[in-house]
Each structure stands twice: as structure tokens, then as C-alpha cells.
Amino acid sequence: MAFTLRIVFSGICAFVPDVPFGSSDPTRQMTVLFPNALKASLPSRILCDPDELERRIVPPHYPILQFNLKNLQSSQGQLKFFVRENLDERRGVASLLAQDISIWPDGRLVQDGRITLIDGNVVDPEHPSPEEEQYLHWLKKMSDVLGKPSTVDPKLLGPLTAESGQELATRVRFSTGRLRTALLSPTKFEFLPLGGKATPGVGERLAVKLALEFEVEDKVKMTFRQFGSKQEPSKLVFTAAEDEPDEDVEIRLENLEPEDLLGIVHPETDPVNVDDSLIIDPDFAVYYRLVQGLVSGQPLPVPHFAKPLAQGAPILGLGKPCSPVGI
């Protein structure tokens, strides 16, 4: 009963390949880091003027696993989840606090995997084709933001201790599949220091969701080990539903604000009456905590909403992308 499994990542999560993005060597392992943003916080004082701090709060983000219960074949261990019901489906929802997660296609560890990065040149970024919209071109790379190569702190890539939970909420590893952009921001963003002003009509669209896909013969096992634990990991096993054997199976790994996790629609905002300096995404500053040896006396950039040239167009939820980033 072969099927396609799709894992959709969204929110604050950093994709760290074993070789740099753009390398001619194949990517054999990808580590996804969910930075700890469980408490409302302010960006580091090196990131913005102290007078602006109160307006630059990063709200809490919660690492969550969501899946359709009809695809859950079995569960084992201490990972608990609750059931969220609507008219169409029953979904399992689990908190992923301090969990080290591995993905095993067909229930076994891939010894010599290879990850395909769906990428390419976008001919016209203003009007990309459906194929081009799936390229990782839209995944914002930290090296592009900093203007130089960036390296994740090695302690976040090795064995994790209980203290690692102060910096990471969750870590995910996989070594096979196709990684692509799953959703683009409807609006464009310009990367400027906090306190800067976005230029109308200037900027770039960003990936707000990434998808990992691979074909499976029978099942997919996900293991969950608490940071620093020596105990046997918990396991969830997913497979195609009996009544839909040919349908894709989709699992969500999210690190989002509560409103987004609950599906609450943000109110529309009239850009004519909004101060440009307020329309930023301070969430991006959380990524700087992952980079090794990053010290700067200058404000580092975050995405600013680039107000459209045509006035009066609504901004949905101030247009915040809460985008994944590549490192």
C-alpha cells in the first residue's frame, strides 16, 4: 500500500543541511531547529535601539505536531496528544516541548540517504510559474541576510541535554525525501534594521511553509526522545487510511503563535493608517541566537512589510510571514 507522506513545516524553524545550501555535494541529512520562543521576549539589545524595545516584542510560539487520526496506525511511549474535532476530520495535536525527533520511512533508519532540494532560477519573481513557486529560492538564507557565511552553534547539532531546552524547543532530523516550498507569503518584505522604513513596492516574497515529501511502501515511523533522556523514545507510526489508500498522508510540524495554531483569522488592516515602522517581523531576531559567534554593535535586519504602491490594499494580520529560514 504505497503512498506519499508529506510533512509541512511552518513558523519559526531553521533548516540546517549537512553541507551548505548551493553546494555541489548532495545533502544527506537535514536538521530542523525550532528555537525556544515559548515566552514573550524582546530581541537582544544589540538588535535594536533601546527606545524601541517595548514595540518589538516577540510573542510566544508553541511547537506543535498535528496529524489526521485516520492515518495513525499505532503509538507507543509517553508522547501524549489530544484530539481536535471539526466537521471534516479528527486531528491529533501534541506538544513537542524539548523533543528530539527522527523520521524513519518504512519504519527503519535510512543509513545512506539523500535529500533532493527542489530549487532553480526564478525567471520573473513577480510572476513565478507554479513550478517555480515550489523552489527553495524563496527560503530566506541567513547568509543572505548577514552578507557572509553563517554557522549554527555546534552544540545545537550534537547530543542535547536538558539545558538545551533553554535555547531549542524541538529538533527534527531526516535523511531522505524532497524538500520544497509549500506556500509563499502573499506580500513582499524588505530586510532592514529595526527602526528602518520599508520602501513602497520594494521587497521579496518569502516561503512561509516548507514541505518534505517521500514515497513509502507501508508506513512511516516518527521517534520522539526527550532532551537528555536515556529512556526508550516514544513512537508514532503513520500509514494511509484504509478507505483512502491512494491519498497522500500529511503531517504538520509547526512553531507558531496561538492564534495561528487555532486557525484564528487576523483582522485586515488599512495600510494608509498604519505606521510603517510598526509593520515588521521581530520573530526573525530569534534566528540570530542560533548562529555561532554573532556579535554586532549594529542593528541586524528583520523583515519589514513593503507597503504596496497601490494604497488601500488590505494587509492581512500586518503581513507577518513568520518564515522558516535556511542556515
> pLDDT tens-digit profile of 281-324?
888 889 998 998 887 666 788 888 776 655 555 555 445 667 89
62-80 pLDDT per residue, tens? 999 999 999 999 998 878 8
- Tell me the C-alpha distance between 180 and 29, whole Å: 15
Q: Of residues 283 and 277, which shows the higher confidence score?
A: 283
What residues have CB less than 8 Å from 157, skipping those under 6 apart? 16, 31
pTM of the model: 0.90
Q: How many domains does the chain have?
A: 1
Element (DSSP H or E) covering residue 277: none
State how far the Cα of 302 lies from the Cα of 56, in Å rounded to an integer: 11
Q: What distance in Å separates the CA atoms of residue 186 and residue 323, rounded to the nearest whole number?
A: 12
DSSP letters for 156-204: GTSPPPGGGGGTEEEEEEE-SEEEEEEEE-SS-EEEEETT--PPTT--B
Read off the pLDDT of residues 206-257 as tens digits, 9 standing for 90 and up. Answer: 999 999 999 988 999 999 999 999 899 999 999 998 877 778 999 999 999 8
- Domain span at residue 21? 3-326
Q: What is the mean pLDDT of residues 13-37?
A: 93
> How many C-beta atoms lie closer than 10 Å to residue 238's C-beta?
21
